[in-house]
Structure 1
Amino acid sequence: MESGPAIFAGGAFTLFGAALLVWTGVRVAQGEPVALGVAPRPAAVLAGLFGAASLLLGIWCFGRP
């Protein structure tokens, strides 16, 4: 059974990671910039990597005993 802080951290990381991945995907699909003043391709790659890392960290928090 997870403790309260682990559940909160897992939920926060998972929600943030999923939202960042969805937002990045929508921006790329529409051809809009992911970040203003940054080259589009590196910004999309970095946002995707950070979104995936946050999502995996949240899942890891849920899986801890």
Structure 2
Amino acid sequence: MTLRKADLRGSVSGPVLDTMYFLNEVALRYPDAFSFAPGRPYGGFFDSEQIFSRIRRYLEHLAEHEELARD
């Protein structure tokens, strides 16, 4: 089934719909391109353990500064 503009019945219109059409067209023309439209890059680019390690370090940093603030 193909989604047509008439099927949306005003739920999405104007610039929003134009942007959606544009992004879909780009995805069709360049299937190897990475889209940042959803707000985050492909998770496979990141080592998840590295992310967790950095989050732990940040939490340690916050705890150290909280402790210094109480002194």
TM class by smaller structure:
0.3 to 0.5
Higher relative contact order (CA 8 A, sep 6+): 1
Could you say which structure has the larger radius of gyration? 2
